[in-house]
Amino acid sequence: MRALVTGCAGFIGSHLAESLLGGGHAVLGVDCFNDNYGRAQKLRNLRHVQDWDSFEFVPIDLSRGDLLELVNGTDVVFHLAAEPGVRSSWGSRFEKYLDNNVLATQHLLEALKSRPDVRLVYASSSSVYGNAEMRPTPEDAPTRPRSPYGQTKLSAELLCSLYRENYGLDLVSLRFFTVFGPRHRPDMAFHIFSRAALENRPITIFGDGRQTRDFTYVTDVVAAMEAAASARLLDDERVYNVGGGAPTSLRDALDLITDIAGKHLDVRYVGPEDGDVRDTQADTSRARRQLGFAPATSLEDGLAAEFEWLARIVQEEQA
């Protein structure tokens, strides 16, 4: 199989590309190195795949230009390229969210009109639900994003549905619930908490810390994406929740990081941020049934792996 992985230098994309290569597949990776966080970490992510003979990298901005050449010769497309982050989606950066989440997806779908035999696996987000009234939240729950980020992810997901209905494209969307693990983006909570513990700095929590998240380890997400690439799907089941299955409060997660770090953490609580939701919990019964999805990594083990990874990075930075 030859796979196109967009956003291959990112957190999830680099893990997916590495897994595909390890499984004997060829990977064409694309990334535009957008400025949402440092280029150095993205280049570090690419170290895990760039030495494979079956890996090819193309630096390209999907929101600009014709993408026909990218999809030609491709068997499956994993579309992870995006402008991430709830809090930064307000204000002056919103145009980047439109470009990288909506326009880039539309350009890719236009290119795939000539390749209806190619399946596209789109990386969506639990942010499309907003403050869900039902938990666990099934895929047919109302979508009410509470942030510009969530709105652009939902818009791209709806574009996928439109192109499938009108042009017969083979598309599937996976709604990820709070992914974490090694190579975590520096703006994400567990990265921030772990780095603060390693550098003996205070930790700021927005809200009271009792808000819960359905934390999902990155390799479980990768397994779901690979399964979605080849599974036989029902026409009316093209959206799947991917969650860890054990919602946990931030306070409880901090307790785990405290144990892993082996030191007291200076935690300070401030008011909640605009766009943040109170609780998330995925109903993953559809993914279990159709994709064979079964989370394999506990929150404690995943946090330990992320902490160990970040400790090495901090040591390199301080050398």
Active site residues: 149
Contacts of 65 (CB under 8 A, 6+ apart): 107
279, two tokens: 């609780």
Residue in the block written with tokens 């390209």: 60
Contact 5, 75 (CB under 8 A): no
From the centroid of its chain, how far is CA 254? 22
Q: How far apart are alpha carbons 147 and 168 in whole angstroms?
A: 31
Instruction: List the one residue out of 49, 46, 43, 44 whose CA is nearest residue 19.
Output: 49
CA separation, residue 15 to residues 34, 182, 200, 219, 244 (Å): 18, 9, 29, 7, 17
Helix/strand/coil for 5: strand
Residue in the block written with tokens 């709105």: 151
Q: How many CB atoms lie within 10 A of CB 34?
A: 20
